[in-house]
Structure 1
Amino acid sequence: MSRNPARRAALVDAAIEVLAREGARGLTYRAVDTEAAVPPGTTSNYFTNRDDLLNQVAPRVHERLTPDPDAMTETMKAPRDAALETELLRGTLDRISQDRSGYLALMELRLEATRRPALHEALTRTMNETLGANIRFHLDAGLPGDEMTVVLLYLAMTGLVIEELTLPEALAPFTPDAVIEALASRVLPQDP
């Protein structure tokens, strides 16, 4: 197995693009090689099999969607209230919208996980770790609400993201911004 980490990341990024565009059935070593513009056979030198490649996608998508630390430090200077949470939710949707392929690939991966037990286990672990990290961030930052608040926000944002990336017109006349505003005002605990 080849060990060039930059090449490996580029191949996973190419796999994300292929998954987003063609779905799981279109994800082949040849398709990844073509997308990454590398010689034929390169992907097979880095991944022992298709499952190995699939298992690398979710962590890479989450890595790509992680906010810039400097921007996050600046954002977190604000008071810990519903306005800050609303801004964080908007930031999440903005990052996902900017990396549309990443999230579409993640949705494809979720579907493929219903047919592949090993992928199901790995993806469940990745998603659970991500949710756990979001809960810890929320609580450690002193944002309003508790663990269940974060779970509710996560579930609502997942639905909003799916609509926004696949059928944005379906929510008309409601805008994503209006939905996020209502979500924050209705789910977060109100100040006394």
Structure 2
Amino acid sequence: MILTLITYHPVPAQSHTGFEQYYCPGSSLAAAPVTRVWYATAGKSYIEARYNYDAEENIGLSAGKQFGGTNAKGWYWTVTPTAGIVTGSCQGFSLGANLGLRYKNWNFSSAAQFTPAKGEGYACSWSELGRPLGNNAYLGAALQQDCRTGSGCTLSPGLTAQLSVAGWTVPLYVFNPFDKRVLLLMGVTREWVLQKSNANQKNAP
């Protein structure tokens, strides 16, 4: 198993949905692509579905509630606690939290998940700090932590470069770039903001 990116940048109070697909080329740690889809309502309810994320051929479902705000200095923040279930070769429940911070052109996102699953429980986290370069590029640094019952914790620092074209983003991550455990992670992501039709807006109270 490999912890994959959880992109969680603060967004306006509108319904939005996202799709993420990741793959580790040449790695025996992740033989199958990892898929994650999520949906958040304008009322801040949140739900996500994962496949091959918690373990290969596993399905994970989580739901939660978003909280967020701004201050006079230009900070924007969001926090989303979640709870869900995992089924497949790894079975149990999961508790997690997503955090997003934005200040001027800087974005920080972090996600943590704890799964006391039957067989092999684990805890994992992902943190990322970066900023866009122009309208279509992004550079940043990431850190992932993976803790397994009976085998301790592993820290993997990394660098990322991302390119956005026509609404789609293609991220590339290089973890452990300065030692023999170098690992590549690449993928494709997309986020859609769902707006009400004009007719619905006219009829809204």
TM-score range, shorter chain: under 0.3
Q: Return the structure number with greater strand share.
A: 2
The higher-RCO structure (CA 8 Å, 6+ apart) is 1
TM superposition score normalised by structure 1 = 0.27
- Normalising by structure 2, we get a TM-score of 0.26
Indicate the structure with greater helix content. 1
